[in-house]
Structure 1
Amino acid sequence: MTPAITAAKRAKIAFSIHQYQHDPAVASYGEEAAEALGKPLQQVFKTLLATDDSGTLYVAVVPVSGQLDLRALAKAVNAKKLTMANPAVAEKATGYVVGGISPLGQKKRLSLVLDSSAEQFATICVSAGRRGLEIELAPADLLKLSNGRLSDIGRD
């Protein structure tokens, strides 16, 4: 049981867990998850962390089919400029390893922005806290549990 699953259980939301055999040699954790789950790339989301000049971290959740638009994320969180967070910093702040960072159950409560494309799906899949483990839940529940917001932060 991961902190992400514990958070979902405590909140009493509807969710399902999907486990698959992770291949450490795979190039894209997100694409591997989508293929293993039989889901379209647009319905499986990756969790990325960005930082501003002061070191404040922000969580971005975007489809694995695209990329994070750092300018759009900066605008969404009212920051001047953002860069991708150092992986070691991301791991320390969230308590998860890269490739398994969940937007739920993180060690520190960080501002979270979910790409608005999530609204087209009844459920989306995000990491459940380790590689090879995904949690499927409604986008609205993810926003509620993370105190997050929707914005157009992804690009193809």
Structure 2
Amino acid sequence: MAVGTPATVALDAAGIRFVVHAYTHDPANSNFGLEAAEAIGVDPDRVFKTLLAEVDGRLVVGIVPVSGKLDVKALAAAVGGKRATMADPAVAERRTGYVVGGISPIGQKNRHETVIDETVELYDTVFVSGGRRGLDLELAPGDLVDVTGAIIADIAR
């Protein structure tokens, strides 16, 4: 079911099954992931947020449950780096082609090295942004790994 975002187009092109979950985003709410979990009616541990960090001068995507935070040191270690800091939101938007609060790990403008927190393996399906605020996609963790080329590591705290 294509919704017309780069994420849904990429999933359709890859032949990956997914379910679209659209909801009305409250512009006053800046906690996008928890808003999505509540609107969709699922445990926040199953909803994953997509964050960009700079690791030794390169951008790396970290995907962690919305109920936690990205451990930038663990992310750096997972990709063989030493130092990591969160990327500037404007850089994240420019490099992914998505707006903050709607950054999908799928179908980004530039492909980035990607790490997904190991808790992704606890669920039959997980939720990630579909490429805009108010749109999440549900898919199997293995498919998320495949479509993003990600590795799995302990990167959440």
Aligned to 2:42: 39
Corresponding residue for 1:14? 17
Give the SS at the match of 1:154: coil
* In the alignment, structure 1 residue 28 sits paired with structure 2 residue 48: no
Does 2:50 correspond to 1:50?
no
Q: Kindly state the Cα deviation for residue 53 of structure 1 after the two structures are TM-superposed.
A: 4.1
Give, in whole Å, the separation in 2 of the partners of 1:115 and 1:52. Answer: 17
Query: 1:93-112 maps to which residues of 2 (within 5 A)?
Result: 93-112=95-114
Question: What secondary structure is seen at the aligned counterpart in 2 of 1:118?
Answer: helix
- What displacement does 1:27 show? 3.3
Report the equivalent of 1:113: 115
Letter in 1 for 2:66: V
Alignment of 1:47-86 (within 5 A): 47-54=50-57, 56-86=58-88
Separation in 2, partners of 1:26, 1:66: 18
Runs of 4+ with >3 A deviation: none
The one-letter code of the counterpart of 2:89 is: P
RMSD: 0.7
Number of residues paired by the alignment? 154
How far apart are 1:13 and its partner, in Å? 1.2
Report the Cα offset of residue 14 of structure 1. Answer: 1.4
Q: What does the per-residue CA deviation read over 1:93-115, in whole Å, with 9 as the maximum and x for residues that have no partner? A: 00000000000000111000000
Deviations 1:130-152 (A, max 9, x none): 00000100111011011111000
TM-score by length of 1: 0.97
Q: Secondary structure at the match of 1:114?
A: strand
Gaps of 5+ in 1: none
Partner SS, residue 16 of structure 2: coil
5 Å matches for 1:119-138? 119-138=121-140
What does residue range 136-155 of structure 1 map to in structure 2 within 5 Å? Answer: 136-155=138-157
SS in 1 for 2:30: coil
Structure 1 vs Structure 2: percent identity of aligned residues? 55
Q: C-alpha distance in 1, partners of 2:99/2:66? A: 17
CA distances 1:38-76 after superposition (whole Å, capped 9, x unpaired): 00010000000000342x100000000000001110000
